[in-house]
Amino acid sequence: LQAADKSESGTLEGEEFVLFYKALTQREEVLSLFQEFSEDGKKLTLLELVDFLQQEQLEGEGMEELAMELIDKYEPSETAKARHVLSADGFLMYLCSPEGSIFNPQHRALWQDMTQPLCHYFISSSHNTYLIEDQIRGQSSIEGYIRALKRGCRCLEVDCWDGPNGEPLVYHGHTFTSKIPFREVVSTLGKYAFQQGSFTRDPRVLGASTHRKGCLCPSRILLGPGGRGTRGSWDRAWHTEVPEQGHPPPPTPQELKHKILLKGKKIGRLEDTLDGPGDDAPELSDEDNGAEAEEEKRRAKVGEAARVSALQKDRESLAQALSDCVIYCKSVSFQGFQEARAHSRPSEISSFSEAKARKLIRESGNEFVRHNAWQLARIYPSGMRTDSSNYDPQEMWNAGCQIVALNFQTAGAEMDLNDGLFSQNGRCGYVLKPPFMRHEGTLFNPSDPSTWEGSGPTTLTIQVISGQQLPKVANSKNEAVIDPLVRVEIHGVPADQAHQETKYIENNGFNPHWDETLQFQLRVPELALVRFVVEDYDKTSRNDFVGQFTLPFANIKPGYRHIHLLSKDGTNIPPSSLFVHIRITE
């Protein structure tokens, strides 16, 4: 400020402000790169820009057209535009733009095939969506549903319990969490489920766990008297069409656009009940355990005879109407891979605790991958995570599990991975699994390198060059200045898991320069996520989080790229960024 204030008036006027602005935005490393390709050091001609795009950015065909587009879009000087040249200012603007981002802009749009069965996609999913705090005393709120939907979540959960005057309530049973009316949840879903643009109209899955008599009440609100008529503006969105064939394969996201699928248990047939307790047994959540489960089992034994005699009435009840809404996501208990193959159907879904899923991955990794090639699997957090912490979703995606439910209210690396995976494909909440995870005869096992396809590892080389305007650590003192370092993490199959970091730069969050090269070997790049983390180094305690950005390896653009950092809760923190050079060698 003092250097730009030539008049020593204490204020900046006219050219003084221009000088001040240029001093703030001067990027020596970018200018040096610009001059490497500029013959006169003042401009890039069209052919010089084409050379840069081909040699460094590794852009595909149509380089001259792309160069013309970039000049037209980012060159601030009309004179330079007319001459088809790019100034140093225009070059910097290009590198800081979406076209200069590490994230392939073509993959921001809907770019994947959406005509595969549902089980061929990873689906963004939340756990106990109504909670916005912990699992014991936390607040239940419709805000949980709004936040999750706006964040791209496509599978939401509702726990219904009896309330006063027959009105069901939503809350975490047998805890001290607050309660919200089920009617408000339905109203919120009707308002926000498909609110965002055309790329977010893919199907939503609503997981409904009904407890005690609560299974009757939601059907009244959803379906109205006699099972029809009061679903309001989203009446057409509720998917209740029964397929004409016997047991067809699950539909595709394309076929179910703008539809809501109900995930839950179905009331069985009378003959099923006579043979023994069936799916029409008292409704239990997939996560019920302990005292609640024992109580429900006792009720089941006492009421068995009454249930059989009353089944015909049940078939005409509102509970039956709710059951009839469950078409493609019927919840069934998992009894083993052979049992599932012999008796289950593609339209059914099983839920697994994180511990059970880990055990299956460890002991039967290939069988689990094969199972997930034809049927949906939902993973949910351990009941011990009362603080709403999250497990690592990557190990579940490695096995092809589609519905990996996380506590969206809890920030951290786990939600960074989730946001990173689903930041692609138009943020529609559906990401197509790699081809080797989509056929039922696959040999792939995430823990066994001998089952992996491919000729050899892919090498990812990252030169971490510099940082720009990194934020201060939250709640730090006004005079505090960060000592930033960059850590790059690879999340994927166990053999690919790795991390490396740069040295820290003392007292410089404004324009730190590292110029360090990190290198990684990837055996299964199709499943890899790359997470860039900036931390404030502290030699006496744990480093403080500054910012991060996570993306799938498949979406990385090579060359000189900017990484636009996100905060702990996944929101943008402009203009904070990292400047890197990426090289990928197969």
- What residue type is 254 in one-letter code? Q
Q: Are 70 and 99 in contact (CB under 8 A)?
A: yes
Catalytic annotation, pick one of 127, 371, 562, 564: 127
Measure the CA–CA gap between 386 and 381, rounded to whole angstroms: 10
- Determine phi and psi for 101, rounding to 5 degrees: -80, 160
Measure the CA–CA gap between 454 and 356, rounded to whole angstroms: 30
CA max distance for the chain = 96
Tell whether omega for the bond before 575 is within 30 degrees of 0, i.e. cis: yes
Mean pLDDT of 453-466: 91
The structural domains of the chain, ordered by start, are 2-100 (1.10.238.10), 118-233+251-265+308-437 (3.20.20.190), 458-585 (2.60.40.150)
Mean pLDDT of 370-389: 96
In this predicted model, what pLDDT tens digit does every residue of 274-311 receive, in sequence order? 334 434 333 445 565 444 445 455 555 555 555 555 54
Reply yes or no on whether 127 is catalytic.
Answer: yes
DSSP assignment of 216-272 equals: THHHHHHH-GGG-S--GGGGGGB--PPPSSSSPPP--TTTTTT-EEEEE-----HHH
Token look-up 């706006």 returns: 150
Contacts of 413 (CB under 8 A, 6+ apart): 489, 531
Task: Specify the pLDDT at position 174.
Answer: 87
Task: Specify the pLDDT at position 290.
Answer: 45
- What residue type is 456 in one-letter code? G
pLDDT surpasses 80 at 379: yes
Catalytic annotation, pick one of 84, 107, 120, 172: 172
Reply yes or no on whether 174 is catalytic.
Answer: no
Residue 250 or residue 203, greater confidence: 250
pLDDT surpasses 50 at 347: yes
Measure the CA–CA gap between 488 and 493, rounded to whole angstroms: 16
In this predicted model, what pLDDT tens digit does every residue of 322-339 receive, in sequence order? 777 888 888 899 999 999
Measure the CA–CA gap between 3 and 56, rounded to whole angstroms: 36
Measure the CA–CA gap between 324 and 56, rounded to whole angstroms: 58
Strand, coil or helix: 323: helix
Measure the CA–CA gap between 193 and 155, rounded to whole angstroms: 11
Residue 263 CA to chain centroid, in angstroms?
A: 20
Residue 311 CA to chain centroid, in angstroms?
A: 42
Q: Counting every residue, how long is the chain?
A: 586
DSSP 8-state class, residue 437: G
Report, in this order, helix, strand and coil percent for the chain, each rounded to 5. 35, 25, 40
Label residue 416 by pLDDT band (50, 70, 90): very high
Residue 191 or residue 312, greater confidence: 191
In this predicted model, what pLDDT tens digit does every residue of 255-264 receive, in sequence order? 888 888 888 8
Label residue 68 by pLDDT band (50, 70, 90): very high
